[in-house]
Chains A and B, each alone.
Chain A
Amino acid sequence: MASAATAYFLPRDLHPAAWWVWALGLAAAASRTTNPWLLLVIFGVACHVVVSRRPDAPWALAFRLYLYLGLTIIVVRLVFRVLLAGGQGQTVLLSLPSVPLPEWAAGVSLLGDVTAEAMLSGLYDGMRLATMVICLGAANALANPKRLLKSMPSALYEVGTAVVVAISVFPQLAESFLRVRRARALRGGPKQGRMKALRAIVIPVLEDALDRSLQLAASMDSRGYGRAGRDSARTRLLTGSLMVVGLIGVCVGVYATLDGTTPRVLAGPVLAAGAVVALIGFGVAGRRVQRTRYRPDRWRPAEVLVALSGIGVAVVLFTTSSFDPLDVNPSLSPLTWPPVAVVPLLGILVGVLPSFFTPPPRAPHAGQVQPFEQARLPVGEGA
């Protein structure tokens, strides 16, 4: 028993899709509530898991940016409430002079009375959006986005490669832009017009980028990219239509699920049907591919736990919101303290399980230190 636990907790990186399912579960749950207590708990759960399970990698550091983004969202919401939503509600906190806008913007006036109701509804709305964004940030921090692309079904492999290549172009462009701009200063700097100066930088940068793409294409070709079986035109048409239809179904289903006002027929059934059609499409397209994967991420019990904990949170919030809407969406008139609802609260706490019951991420490799050869003397041409 103990040895099974040791094996289970061996450090490894979990399947990126598991983290995405978990994070989307949390985000979907957040979308269903404006209760600040619940939102704070979701936020806390996401942060706790990120802190305890994020790998030591560059993409994981971006989580802080998502936190700032969340904060900005809340602040912007509140500022707009002050600027635009003047006059709603009774509890006036601050009286500002109202500035009526000209005719063409009829009905809108700037400033005016700042009420507690308006501010609170702005705050709750902002918190909801911010929490959702932070949940996605958590997924980004916990799972390497490029590995997620790699674990796409083999039918989408080509697209995935294209996206990875496209992403890696940007740092290169930035690099050659800086280099060329620096070099331009050596020719005396911008003496000509702005357009000409811009052209003097853009042309060498684009030439550089084009050169690199050609070299990359030659390299990919000579390393066998695209040699795995070609489908006939008919199979391609079949798989293409299956996938498009399936994805449309999934989109409609997801929208209907998240928006409580659409007919229920469009939610569950359409989502399920769309997923099935898309999966068949992937299956048909992937069947002919003779390509293998190097060290694919595997779906093991820990991944199941992570995914289920995220889905669990979403399920609890979706069911309670239909039983007791006031717990999840507190009323603003009359103005009351938002209730602390026990069931949804406990439900959200399920989402923190991955912090304790998943294997920790792999330690950064010893090879991160500077390579030793940088410290050697250069040896001459004919040494």
Chain B
Amino acid sequence: MIRLDRMSFTYDGATRPTLRDVDLTIDEGELVLVAGRTGAGKSTLLNAFNGLVPHFTGGHLDGSVSVQGVTTQEKPPREFSHLVGVVGQDPLAGFVTDTVEEELAYGMEQLGVEPQVMRRRVEETLDLLGIADLRDRALRTLSGGQQQRVAIGSVLTMHPAVLVLDEPTSALDPTAAEDVLATLARLVHDLGTTVVLAEHRMERVIPFADRMLWVPGDGRVVDGTPAQVLAQLPAAPPIIELGRLLGWDPLPLSVRDARRAATSVRAELDASDSAVPRRDPGEGKVLLEARGVVVRYGQHVAVREVDLALHAGSVTALMGRNGSGKSSLLWALQGAGRRQAGTVLAGGVETAQVSRADARRAVGLVPQTASDLLYLESVDQECGAADDESGAEPGTCRTLLDRMAPGIDGTQHPRDLSEGQKLALVLAVQLTAAPPVMLLDEPTRGLDYGAKSAFVEIVQALAADGHTVAIATHDVEFVARVADRVIVMAEGEFVSDGPAVDVLGGSPAFAPQTAKVLGPRWLTVEQVREAVAPR
């Protein structure tokens, strides 16, 4: 159906091709999972399927890409719209109309589909994706998961031969991502839709993927069954890492498989008592103390009389569903967000009553869209401005940045950095003011496995330096690796607060994969690795 024949692609101004001599055939009814680091060429590969690469992006394409016999050289992307449906990362950015029903019909209007057929397909698609009750809603008022399902629906109504999704869940919280992935599973299982999917939450998709492509970043595309390809991936989901560590063959692809394979190991680990005891999060000096914090927006109470103490050397994770008050709490603690009642003392100052520059020296905050803080043309200028703003020695910011993410070219534009490098830069900018307290709002969004591991080390180094770090996040595996203390919020209140092992291990909602396979005491693959190392 889709054929790539010795396809090579080089972006304008790039010295080497992003993809080189790729031969690939995608057949009807397959679910193909595409893996690879960000920036390795996944999107380039996917966008080549309908001609957006190179028609839209520019660059040079050798060889050929053809869909049902028509090559992308012959026609522009719009002539492939009935063959290849493309769904991007940010659904809102791709919407053309403003209500659900009109958005579903938009593509068909362009194709000139008969009105009765359009009407029928819209109704069918609304039901298929479970969004019938949203039909009249304005697209902007939908939650992220609903928006992404509408985006999928808006290409499905054109009945494309192939559905191409480029990291459809990377901008979503886990609940929304679940919705979208469950919808995809349904399309694949019940309808046999051909789907090509790039996805960093691989573990959700692996069980029903027929094939896996790995784009390592050197121009190759590795093609094989999921088990074959996963064995080669440098950074993989915990379950795969566990399988590799314990030498399971074949590699387990789902929690179910892994639990069955783990029976003997589980008994062995239960007998050993070497589950690494973590630091007690409450033993360091109190660096930030908040009492009776209240944040409300009109009638809506976002944070309800919360008390919180953060201790030196500890990493605290704030978890809870969207809208449970995590972000509002972080902004209120920093003093830049609103706070109607309560006190926050950090470094001897009340954070809401000092100037922004002084509050910054007491408490640093990295917001959800970290790049909002960057506005200059190069990394060096950003670092210089940061030194200036915080009255630090020139070079402070750059030194911090080099410690966290070595080897970033100072003349690069911040926009051209990878997500992980951007995060490190913003963190360095905020750390230049040397705040003992660092707050991070959803830092791991859009980070791949490799970047996430690097970020875990950065956070651990900060804590070891005597900082206290609080992170609002949905990412359970990240929390399992990095946090000493976990607080779960709901409706603006703390519903549980305790050491990570206690809060995460036993919870069905928050348990990391390792705990699901091996029991509540084992949160990460590293713990297991240390426990089994002597053998």
Contacts and interface: CB of A to CB of B under 8 A. Distances in A.
A183 interface: yes
Interface stretch (A20-28, A81-89, A114-122, A164-172): A164-172
A373 B143 contact: yes
Interface string B114-127: 11001100100000
A380 interface: yes
B390 A188 contact: yes
B174 A380 contact: yes
Interface in A152-208: 161, 164-165, 168, 171, 179-180, 182-189, 191, 199-201, 203-204, 207
Given A186-B365, A225-B78, A380-B476, A204 B145 contact: no
Interface in A199-234: 199-201, 203-204, 207, 211-212, 215-228
Contacts of A201: 375
Interface of B: 50, 52, 55-56, 76-82, 84-86, 88, 90, 93-98, 101-102, 105-115, 118-119, 122, 133-138, 140, 142-143, 145-146, 154-155, 158, 173-176, 178-179, 201, 203, 237-239, 255, 319-323, 331, 334, 336-337, 355-357, 360, 364-367, 369, 371-375, 386, 389-390, 415, 429-430, 433, 474-477, 508-513, 516
Contact of A290 (B106, B112, B371, B373): B112
Interface string A345-383: 000000000000000000011111001011011111111
13 contacts: A200-B375, A211-B93, A218-B88, A218-B94, A224-B79, A224-B82, A224-B111, A294-B105, A294-B115, A296-B115, A373-B175, A374-B143, A374-B323
Contacts of A191: 357, 389
Given A187-B429, A378-B474, A221 B367 contact: no
Interface in A122-146: 146
Given A187-B386, A291-B112, A371-B134, 14 more contacts: A146-B98, A164-B97, A186-B336, A186-B373, A221-B52, A221-B77, A221-B78, A371-B143, A374-B322, A376-B321, A381-B475, A382-B237, A382-B513, A383-B178
Contacts of B50: 222
Contact of A367 (B110, B135, B337): B135
A222 B513 contact: no
A3 interface: no
Contact of A183 (B76, B140, B372): B372
Contacts of B142: 371
* CB-based closest 8 A-B pairs: A219-B94, A294-B105, A382-B513, A380-B476, A224-B81, A189-B356, A224-B110, A183-B372
Contacts of B509: 377-380, 383
A382 B56 contact: no
Given A189-B355, A218-B52, A292 B109 contact: yes
Interface of A: 58, 146, 161, 164-165, 168, 171, 179-180, 182-189, 191, 199-201, 203-204, 207, 211-212, 215-228, 290-296, 364-368, 371, 373-374, 376-383
Contacts of B516: 382
| Candidate in A180, A216, A295, A379 with the most chain B CB atoms within 10 angstroms | A379
Contact of A216 (B96, B319, B371): B96
A251 to B, nearest CB: 30
B373 A223 contact: no
Nearest to B476: A380
A221 B107 CA distance: 10
A271 to B, nearest CB: 33
Nearest to A212: B93
A204 B382 CA distance: 13
Contact of A380 (B134, B135, B367, B512): B512
Contacts of A367: 133-137
Contacts of A188: 356-357, 360, 389-390, 433
A371 B135 CA distance: 12
B373 A187 contact: yes
A25 to B, nearest CB: 29
B77 A373 contact: no
A185 B357 CA distance: 8
Nearest to A207: B415
A378 B80 CA distance: 37
Contacts of B323: 374
B250 to A, nearest CB: 19
Contacts of B97: 164
B80 A292 contact: no
Contacts of B94: 215-216, 218-219
B178 A292 contact: no
Contacts of A189: 355-357
A381 B512 contact: yes
B109 A294 contact: yes
Nearest to A199: B375
A171 B140 contact: yes
Contacts of B360: 186-188
Contact of A222 (B77, B109, B137, B146): B77
B77 A204 contact: no
B177 to A, nearest CB: 9
A227 B375 contact: no
Contact of A227 (B81, B154, B337, B430): B81
Given A216-B96, A224-B78, A378 B110 contact: no
B372 A219 contact: no
A179 B372 contact: yes
A223 B106 contact: yes
Contacts of A207: 415
Nearest to B119: A295
Contacts of A182: 331, 336-337, 367
B329 to A, nearest CB: 15
B96 A223 contact: yes
A35 to B, nearest CB: 42
A13 B508 CA distance: 48
A373 B429 contact: no
Contact of B375 (A203, A212, A217, A379): A203
A168 B103 CA distance: 14
Nearest to B155: A223
Contacts of A376: 175, 321
Most chain B CB within a 10 A radius of its CB, from A187, A228, A379: A187
A207 B369 CA distance: 13
